[in-house]
Structure 1
Amino acid sequence: MKHQPHDAPPGDPDSALAGEAEGYLLARAHHDQARREAEDLCARMPWLTAAQAEDVARHYTRKRIDLTRQMLLSTVERASQLRQEYETRYAALRRDLLKLHAAGVCAALICLGGAGALASLLSR
């Protein structure tokens, strides 16, 4: 499920495009950050040749992106699980509240019926 701005309708093509653009920009920023970290790592290893440093930087960046993707997917999966748990709990609470209100209304009607019957008997 893509991120939707709070005030946009779910099927709005403009918000879908904005969401994709935001996702691209976030992914690009993360890739750039991983690349900077890789370059910093290689700078601390002055014995590497330029080709070796580029190879290390490429491997580091790829592994970092893969790790982040895995963490994000795990987070999305857990968020989905939590959402389902909360929705299930919310439905159960709503059902219990409805039962409680129905019981209260029934009790009130019984009391009113009893009071009406008692008033009818006393007025005879």
Structure 2
Amino acid sequence: MDDRPIDTGALINELEGHLLVEATLGEGRRAAGRFTRRFEWLTDSQRAEIEEGFAEQYVSLARDSWRRTARRAAHLRSEYEEVYRGLRRRLLATFLCGTAVLVLAAALVVTAVRP
């Protein structure tokens, strides 16, 4: 082993990804089993081949869907971050203008009170 620190966040993400793929593969296999049950005339080897292809296609479609979702999430995140930055700028500008008005008002009051 090397002396590099372990990135636990990356490790957890990798583990979650592996578990998600395995769960999806299991779902695909169950769906393939339900599908091939309708074809009683298939031999066991034909059934296994169809089920494996079905499960692989199922996982492939799921991965494509996850990628589209991740791209959309990244796009939305960038949009929201841009809006947030704009709101922060507006809030800061409003605060600075309000502070300037209060300082000006205080200065006018002080000059008006002085004889």
- Please, what TM-score do these two structures have when normalized by structure 2? 0.88
- How far off is 1:18 after superposition? 2.5
Match of 2:38 in 1: 44
Match of 2:49 in 1: 55
- How far off is 1:72 after superposition? 0.4
Find 1:91's aligned residue among 85, 90, 98: 85
Describe the SS at the equivalent of 2:40. Answer: coil
- Please, what TM-score do these two structures have when normalized by structure 1? 0.82
1:81 corresponds to which letter in structure 2?
H
Describe the SS at the equivalent of 1:22. Answer: helix
1:44 corresponds to which letter in structure 2?
R
Is it true that 1:17 corresponds to 2:14 in the alignment? no
What does 1:1-124 align with in structure 2 at a 5 Å threshold?
Answer: 13-120=7-114, 123=115
Unaligned runs of 5+ in 2: none
% identical aligned pairs: 30
Write the deviation string for residues 27-80 of structure 1: whole angstroms up to 9, x where unpaired. Answer: 111111111111121112101122321221122111111110010001001110
Describe the SS at the equivalent of 1:44. Answer: coil
Unaligned runs of 5+ in 1: 1-10
Structure with more contact order per residue of length (Cα contacts < 8 Å, sep ≥ 6): 2
The count of aligned residue pairs is 111
